[in-house]
Structure 1
């Protein structure tokens, strides 16, 4: 289900954001009077964060692309492009994207993910959504059977026989909804949702 997938993506992005924030905050940290053990501990932690960020980079780039977050900047002079999430690990020599902006773009991606997760949750708990999904599947069932049997589905659906099958199914479903006690308003909602599908 999309809800569980998007929830997983959101949790991943939140963890990625936290790792990126720690990395950007500490990457240029200077040590004055620190022990060798403290310096080695810092280097080990930074290497761990770099590895985690590098492994998650393809996924975070894919999610930003899906949500259409503008994460690529272009230098107006050299026309060189810089991807905000790639420059977390690779220094942005031209200074096109500041560290704060990189984190802002990660937060924007998380926000988009939250919006999709919320809408998917509302679908899951909405019984009307399940009724519409079931009706859609039921309407597609005869055509799926014909397709499995080797018929050309596009031509059958557009034919008179396909239209008759759809009409019979629709009449049956309306009868079932009335039998189950759906009110006129609820049936209108089902039809409205049906037409949007």
Structure 2
């Protein structure tokens, strides 16, 4: 289900954001005191957080690309593009992308993911969406059988014979919905779904 994968992606991004925020605020920290154990603990925390960020970086980049978040910055001096999420771990874009901008872009990606999650949830609980999906599968079935048998189903589907088959299916489905007692508004929704198939 798309909804559950997007929900998982959003949770990943939220966790990634928290790691990035902690790392960016602590990577340059200096100690003017404290025990050796405290310093070693801090260094191990920075190291493990850096490792987690590096492992999650490909997924974070992929999600930013999916949601078309503008995460690339062009450095005219060196004629190279820097990915904002990569610069969380390295300093090769200092002065070009600030830490706040990196976190803002992560937040923007989280927001886009949340919007997509909301849209997918509405589809998940909408019975007309599932009716449209079921009707789509029924309408595609004869062409799927032809394709499986080795025929070129695309050309048949676009031909006059394919249009006639589809029209017969549509009339049969609408008749079946009327038989089931669908109201006029429900039939209109179903016909809209059929037309969009």
Q: TM-score range by the shorter chain?
A: over 0.9
Alpha-carbon distance between aligned partners in 1 of 2:67 and 2:118, rounded to the nearest angstrom: 15
- For residues 113 and 154 of structure 1, the distance between their equivalents in structure 2, rounded to whole angstroms, comes to 34
The alignment's TM-score, normalised by the length of structure 1, stands at 0.96
CA distance in 1, matches of 2:82, 2:119: 32
What are the superposed Cα offsets for residues 33-68 of structure 1, whole Å, 9 maximum, x if unpaired? 111101100110011001100000000000000100
Q: Name the counterpart of 1:174.
A: 174
Compute the displacement of 1:123 (Å).
Answer: 0.5
Deviations 1:1-60, CA, capped at 9 Å, x for gaps = 110110110111011001101100100111111111011001100110011000000000
How many residues are treated as equivalent by the alignment?
Answer: 197
Give the Cα separation in 2 of the matches to 1:134 and 1:106.
37
Find the aligned partners of 1:194 and 1:101 in 2 and give their Cα distance. 45
1:100 aligned counterpart, secondary structure: helix
Alignment RMSD: 1.2
TM-score (norm 2): 0.96
What secondary structure sits across from 1:32 in the alignment?
Answer: coil
Structure 1 runs of 4+ aligned residues shifted over 6 Å read none
Matches within 5 A, 1:131-150: 131-150=131-150
Q: Is residue 87–residue 93 contact of structure 2 (8 Å, CA) maintained in 1?
A: no
Structure 2 Cα separation of the partners of residues 185 and 119 of structure 1: 23
Aligned to 2:23: 23
Report matched runs for 1:45-84 at 5 Å: 45-84=45-84
Pair 19,94 (structure 1): closer, same or farther in 2 beyond 3 Å: closer
- Structure 2 unmatched ranges of 5 or more: none
Whole-angstrom CA distance in 2 between matches of 1:159 and 1:74: 50
The equivalent residue for 1:105 is: 105
Residue 158 of structure 1: aligned partner: 158
- The verdict on how the C-alpha distance between 1:92 and 1:185 changes in structure 2, with shifts beyond 3 A counting, is same
